A = this chain, B = another copy of it.
Amino acid sequence: MDNSIRVKFDKIDRKILEILQANAKITNAQLSKDIGLSPAPTLERVKKLEQSGIIKSYHAKLDPEKIGLGVSTFVLVSLIGHNKGNIDAFMKEINQIEEVIECHHITGTGDFILKIIAKDITAYQKLMLEKVSEIKEVDSMQSMVILSTFKDSKVLPIPA
Q: Which residues of A line the B interface, CB within 8 A?
A: 3-7, 9, 17, 20-25, 52-70, 72, 74, 91, 94-95, 98-110, 113, 117, 119, 123, 142-159
**Is B58 touching A105 in the complex (CB atoms < 8 A)?**
no
Smallest distance from the beta carbon of A84 to chain B beta carbons, Å?
Answer: 12
**Complex contacts, A156 vs chain B, CB 8 Å:** 62, 64, 67, 69, 101, 117
This chain: how many copies in the complex? 2
**Complex contacts, A143 vs chain B, CB 8 Å:** 108
**Is B103 touching A149 in the complex (CB atoms < 8 A)?**
yes
Interface pairs (15), CB distance under 8 Å: A6-B66, A23-B58, A55-B62, A56-B62, A58-B60, A102-B153, A103-B149, A105-B149, A106-B145, A106-B146, A107-B144, A107-B145, A113-B144, A119-B159, A123-B159
